[in-house]
Copies of this chain bind each other. A is one copy, B any other.
């Protein structure tokens, strides 16, 4: 999308999340960020399961939501109050019991709204297990890069 580079790197984003969002610690690891993109990895554990021996919907929602949050923060800087206004997720396949990857892509980064999607795959199968469309509201700045 945009040739603009992220203003926060993986280390800065990881530290920021640990500070403002301790509930997600240990839930997902930020693997990479780029211009309007982010990739996160979730180590699937027993608490993420649902009947049928598969990863639960709320777990996949959380990974999609967090991946898009990280993609936005990478571009706009430290703004914890950036909040989801809409997330629509399609569940495509029963994921195997293996780590999940969430790849977020910002399609529009406006002053007050960021819109895009997240594709979730398993590390054991390249076919997507879920696909989410996300809209985040961005509060007025300024913020620290």
Assembly of this chain: how many copies? 4
**Does A58 have its Cβ within 8 Å of any Cβ on chain B?**
yes
Binds B, one of A4-12, A96-104, A106-114: A106-114
Taken together as a complex, chains A and B put the C-alpha atoms of A1 and B57 apart, in Å, by 23
**Does A49 have its Cβ within 8 Å of any Cβ on chain B?**
yes
20 contacts between A and B (CB under 8 A): A23-B46, A23-B47, A23-B48, A23-B49, A52-B83, A57-B65, A58-B62, A61-B61, A83-B91, A83-B94, A86-B90, A87-B89, A88-B88, A90-B115, A107-B119, A107-B128, A107-B131, A108-B127, A116-B131, A131-B133
- Known contacts A23-B49, A84-B91, A87-B88, then 10 further A-B pairs from the complex at CB < 8 Å, ordered by chain A residue: A23-B46, A23-B47, A52-B83, A57-B84, A86-B88, A86-B91, A88-B88, A93-B108, A108-B127, A117-B117
